[in-house]
A and B are shown apart, each in its own frame.
Chain A
C-alpha cells in the first residue's frame, strides 16, 4: 500500500535553515503537501506542490520534489522559534480514503 516516511526529529539553531525530508511510494500522487501542527492545535496546510513541478518557493519556504526518487523536501530559511512544530508530509494519490500522511517531523529550535 501507500507509505510516507519522514524522520521523527530535526534540531536546528535559530537563524539556520531547516530541511525536512520525506519519501513516498505512490507514483500516482498528483499533489504533495506539507502541514504544520503547533502544540495543542490541528494541522494547517503550509504549502503544496503539484507533481509536475520540481520546485515551489513561498517566502521562507522552498519545496523540492524529485519525482523519480519519490523524494520531497521542505526547506525553511532563517528558522525562528515560531517555526517549532510538527511537520507532516502528505501525498494525494486519488484513493477515496484521502491523503496519506507521514508520522511527522518534530522541528526543535536551539537558541
Chain B
C-alpha cells in the first residue's frame, strides 16, 4: 500500500522560479489537502479539494495554485517562488470530510 506519495522530497529553487509539487493517493479518497509546516506555526492549510475537478482556498492560498484533474492526483504549483515559501509541504487525503487524514512524507522546499 503506497498511501499518499509526494514528489519531489527535496527541492531548492531560486527566487522567481516556478515548480509543481505532485501528490498521488491510491485509496480512492475524495478529499485532498495541501498544508505547509513552519516552525512554531503548526500546519496551515493552503488549498483543498472535495473531489475531482474541484479546488478551494484554505488559510494561506496566496502565491499558490492547485489542480485536481484526476481523483488520485492533487498538484500544488508555485508560479514565482519567494523566500517566504521556504517550508515543508504536506499533502493529505481523507475518505470522509471529518475522517482520518493520511499524510505524505513531505516536500522540503528551500527558496534562495
- Please state if A97 and B48 are interface contacts (CB–CB under 8 Å): yes
Residues of B within 8 A of A98 (CB): 31, 33, 45, 48, 92, 94, 97-98, 101
Contact indicator per residue, chain A 23-49, by CB within 8 Å of chain B (1) or not (0): 000000111010100001111110010
The reply to whether B100 and A45 form a contact with Cβ atoms under 8 Å apart is yes
Q: Mark B84-109, 1 if CB is under 8 A from A, else 0.
A: 00000010101001111111111000
Known: A30-B98, A42-B90. A97 touches B45 (CB 8 A): yes
* A75-105 with Cβ < 8 A to chain B: 88, 90, 92-99, 101-104
Q: Within 8 Å of chain A (Cβ to Cβ): is B112?
A: no
Size category, A interface: 20 to 34
**Residue A8 lies at the interface, judged by CB distance under 8 Å to chain B:** yes
Q: Given the complex, which residues of A lie within 8 Å of B104, measured CB to CB?
A: 42
Query: Are A8 and B98 in contact (CB-based, < 8 A)?
Result: no
A contact residues vs B (CB 8 Å cutoff): 8, 29-31, 33, 35, 40-45, 48, 88, 90, 92-99, 101-104
List of 6 A-B pairs having minimum Cβ-Cβ separation, nearest first: A92-B98, A103-B42, A42-B103, A43-B103, A101-B43, A42-B105
19 contacts between A and B (CB under 8 A): A30-B98, A33-B101, A42-B4, A42-B90, A43-B90, A43-B92, A45-B101, A92-B97, A95-B97, A95-B98, A96-B31, A96-B48, A97-B33, A98-B31, A98-B33, A99-B94, A99-B101, A103-B41, A104-B43
